[in-house]
Structure formats: structure tokens, C-alpha cells
Amino acid sequence: MQNAQNRSVIDALQECILACEHCATMCLQEDHVKMMARCIQTDRDCADICRLTATLLARGSEHGKHLLRECIEVCEACAAECAKHDHDHCQQCAEACRRCAEACRSLVA
């Protein structure tokens, strides 16, 4: 199950994980952290689902394919939330989430 297409999806998942973790960490350092609570929560959820999906795809688990749809949904929600904020880390995270959702769609199709 470790073909070139899976490898590119796993790469996108890993980039999304890093972007979400970075965004959440930076949001925690914002002056108005309470205003960033939804962003932080969504970042963490997205990083977690991406991490599990990448792990299952990497090991060739039949369950990895099942998680792709959920991953797309969570990535799109995270992208939408992060896009609401002007911070560079939020904008970069939104873009990584969009790329990840698109990569996951390529395996679902």
C-alpha cells in the first residue's frame, strides 16, 4: 500500500500535522488567546486525525482508507477556521489543510 500516490498523501498529512501543531502553539502565545480557542481546538483535532490517517496508510491498514473522508472533513474545517485569522501561522495552516484535503481526495476517488 506504500505506492507513490500513498507516499504523496502521507507527505501532505505530515505537512498538515506540522502546520497545525505550529499554529496551535503560536495561537497560545497570542495576546487574546481566548479569541483563538476555536482555532487551537480545531488545529489539535486536525493534527490528530492526520497523524492517525498517515500512520494507518503507512502500515497499509485497510482502515486508513476509511479515515480519509473524516480527514478531508476535519482539514476543511480547520482551513476554514484558520482562514478567519490574519496571523501568518493561521494562513499557512489553512493552506496546508487545503492541500492535505485535496491529497486525501485523490485517494478517495
Which residue in the block uniquely carries the three cell numbers 486525501?
104
CATH classification at residue 64: 1.20.1270.360
At 64 the pLDDT is 87
At 1 the pLDDT is 42
| Residue-wise pLDDT tens digits, 67-108 | 999 999 999 999 999 999 999 999 999 999 999 999 999 998
Alpha-carbon gap, residue 50 to 108, rounded angstroms: 15
* Residue 66 or residue 98, greater confidence: 98
Domain carrying residue 55: 4-108
Smallest CA-to-CA distance from 42 within 73, 87, 78 is with 78
How many domains is the chain built from? 1
